[in-house]
Amino acid sequence: MPHVHHTLKQDLTRTILLWGSSFFALLAILFLISFQTLEGHILELMADRRLSYQAVEFDKHLKDRDIQTIIEESEVLVQDNMFAAILLTDGKGRTLSSSIGSNLESLSGIKGPLSAIAAREISLSESSLHLFIRPLTNQKNNIFLVMDGRPIESAMIKATVLMTLLLAILLLLSIKALHYSLRRQLVEPVEHLRKAIENSSIDESTLHRLEEALPDEASEILKVFEELKYSSDEMKTHIMGMMETLPACFWWSHDGKSYTGVSGKASSVLNRSPDDMQGAILWDWTASPPQISSNHLQLQQAIKRQDDKLDYAYQIQTDDTPFWYGESIAICYHKDGTLDTVYGIINDISARKLRQHEQAERLEMTNRMEATATLVAGIAHEFNNALAGMNGNLFLIKQGTDNEKKLNHINRIEQLIQRSATMIDHMLIFACKSTRRPGPVKLIEFLNSFQTSILPELQDRTQCDLSFAQACLSCPPVVLADQKRLHEVLLQLFRNAEFATKDAPLPRISISVDCFHAEETLLRSHPHLTSREIVHIQIRDNGCGIPETIQERIFEPFFTTREVGNGTGLGLSMVYGYLNQIGGAIDVDSSVGTGSTFHIYLPRSVIELKPEKKEHLLQGHGETILAVDDDQMFLDASHEVLERMGYKVIVANNGRQATELYEQHKADIQLILMDILMPGLTGIQTSRFIRRITPDIPIIFLTAYDRTQPMEAEVYQKNAQLLNKPFSIPALSQAIHQAMQPMPENR
């Protein structure tokens, strides 16, 4: 947008005219608004004075019964243009005296005597005529005075016009006088000040003369300008001292191509002498022609675009060691757009880049573990379904034979199934998909029991220590976990430590426990932690240690450094997955030759323990059960097992069929045994449909792995249970027996 030039004189004139016009406009509006009111007020004052006088005179003449004098005085009165008519009436309203002025005759055409009624009508019909009435002393006679407002209106208009002209003349004279004063007192001194500032150097005599000519305010400005100008050179001499206090290297360039100056920090940040860099090409210290060319190209393009700032980040290889540098550049220009100076600050950001690289590797590992967990969970789901079907069929075979040799084979198969189920459960724990509900574990009692259980299995030379910090002894910690799973976690870590110390001269494994309030650093490095109140378990050994090259992979499933047959590689992955599932975390410190320390962080809890239930096989009494599962082999086995247990069974192989069968047999069905994960309608969706019909029907949900189950409220309702595949037949019988018990009524 083009700049519009204007002077102080023009601005001031425009402002005065604007305010003057506004003042006159406001004055005219006020005059128009109050004109009628003012005119009426003046007429009232004049009428009041005239009627007061005439009342006294007419009363005196009436006492003397001198009507002729009243008529004569009235005639004299109406000779004045202000008074259009005056009449005197008696107590009955009859006219005693009536006089009419020439202005009334011209307005209304009345020439004869005027009555009181006619006077009222005329004043109402003519806006310029105003009627005033005054009773005499005896209260029997009234004086009617008709006044003409036109003379007053004309006089007021003339006075207003004259006053407006005088004010306009006064305004113009004021503007002229103000222009003259401004020119002498402001415009000319400001012009002197501008010329003085534009002059690069002012001698003492010129400065003294200007200070005398300028007003105090302008001379103060000139003094401040001189002080700033002289102090700028001094500031430039101190700028380098200020830059030396920065932890970065500061440089500047007048041409944008070579270094004009460099701070002393170049020696520590860039390993270059500042004197050697002065006059050198920008970024010549990198000794990398491609990097120099790239940085120069970006800088010249930024100057061409008139950018104010520019940021670089680049890597330099020095003595086979990579270094990262971050550089912030500020570009200054002259008023005409040409380059003035380029300023730059160089920081060594190698440490920050290393942290970012470590975070990226950690994130990549987390993503890899999550992807592996999803794959493992899917495989575990299929295996659990198969094992559940095997369990049912083995139960039927076992019930149908008395051959001791066959029973031994069946028992071995059951043990293999249980072993496979345990391994698959470890896989689900790693995948954080285990459906076992955690309970409270008193940690001191648990660890004492754990130490007692493993001592007989230790090698003769191995020493095992267990210690508790004072914070744990004064307030025994409780954690929320599955006690069997936690035992397996510690046992796995203990077995690893025992394996690592097998060649140590004096093998030693120690377990220590402490409680503390977690800081932000720990929470950021372990995002799975769900509480700040932490129980810290350390398992330390003096074994062979873990090489740094494989420390990041030890928690991956199927990764092992042992020989074939000595491990599956699922142990530490199970530990990692289960601790994450219960809101905890695990970390390791290790070095080859000195041993390893595994750090377990568990969220502290205050829930009390409950006794475990024992499993016994319970028989039914002919109750009807609806069994629903999409695995036909498992469904067939479950059908026969339930009938052997004494129940009537209706089977459905999907949710849609289950809803149809329930609508047909809802009067007979007393329990529903249903898989959660099925194609089409899932077990949860099917339960919602059925419970619209019978809200309190008991349901036992079966799952080999269900990724949505922990978020579904139906599984946790009072008339619902959850069984994990594969399950034992006694566990199934007890779950059915418990589900069919009548619910206690609320009182």
What is the residue-wise DSSP string for 67-122? Answer: HHHHHHHHHHHTTSTTEEEEEEE-TTS-EEEEEE-HHHHHHH---S---HHHHHHH
CA distances in angstroms from 465 to 476, 477, 507, 514, 593, listed in the order given: 19, 19, 11, 15, 21
Greatest CA separation for the chain: 164
How far is it, in rounded angstroms, from Cα 182 to Cα 559? 92
To the nearest whole percent, how much of the chain has pLDDT over 90?
A: 8
Q: Mean pLDDT of all residues in the chain?
A: 77
pLDDT band per the 50, 70, 90 thresholds, residue 553: confident
φ/ψ (deg, to 5) at 154: -65, -40
Which residue is it, tokens 């009419």? 100
When pLDDT is averaged across residues 382-411 and rounded to a whole number, the result is: 65
CB 596 within 8 A of CB 500: yes
- Model confidence pLDDT, tens digit, residues 172-189: 887 777 777 777 766 666
In the beta sheet, which residues pair with residue 87?
Answer: 98, 144
How far is it, in rounded angstroms, from Cα 673 to Cα 211? 104
Q: Exposed, middle or buried, 21 (CB in 10 Å: 0-12/13-18/19+)?
A: exposed
How far is it, in rounded angstroms, from Cα 634 to Cα 736? 17
Decide: helix, strand or coil at residue 114: coil
Domains and CATH numbers, the chain: 8-155 (3.30.450), 204-237 (no CATH), 246-348 (3.30.450.20), 436-605 (3.30.565.10), 624-739 (3.40.50.2300)
720-724 vs 699-703, strand pairing mode? parallel
Which residue is it, tokens 């086979």? 320
How far is it, in rounded angstroms, from Cα 657 to Cα 655? 5
Pick from 195-204, 298-307, 343-352: least confident: 195-204
632 has a pLDDT exceeding 90? no
Greatest mean pLDDT among 4-18, 363-377, 649-663 lies in 649-663
Identify whether 151 is preceded by a cis peptide bond (ω within 30 of 0): no
pLDDT of residue 511: 92
- Model confidence pLDDT, tens digit, residues 421-458: 665 665 555 555 554 556 788 888 888 888 877 877 77
pLDDT of residue 565: 41
Of 428, 460, 446, nearest to 511 (Cα)?
A: 446
- Model confidence pLDDT, tens digit, residues 500-552: 888 888 888 999 999 998 888 888 888 878 888 899 999 999 888 888 877 77
In the beta sheet, which residues pair with residue 585?
Answer: 601
For 204, the token pair is 């003492």
pLDDT band per the 50, 70, 90 thresholds, residue 597: very high
How far is it, in rounded angstroms, from Cα 514 to Cα 529? 16
- Model confidence pLDDT, tens digit, residues 211-270: 565 556 555 665 666 666 666 556 555 665 666 666 788 888 988 889 988 888 878 788
Measured on CA atoms in the order 200, 205, 206, 209, is the torsion positive or negative? positive
pLDDT of residue 539: 92
Decide: helix, strand or coil at residue 476: coil
Which H/E stretch holds residue 602?
strand 595-605
Q: What's at 468, amino acid-wise?
A: F
- Model pTM? 0.33
How far is it, in rounded angstroms, from Cα 88 to Cα 55? 10
Which residue is it, tokens 């670089």? 312
For 649, the token pair is 């069974």
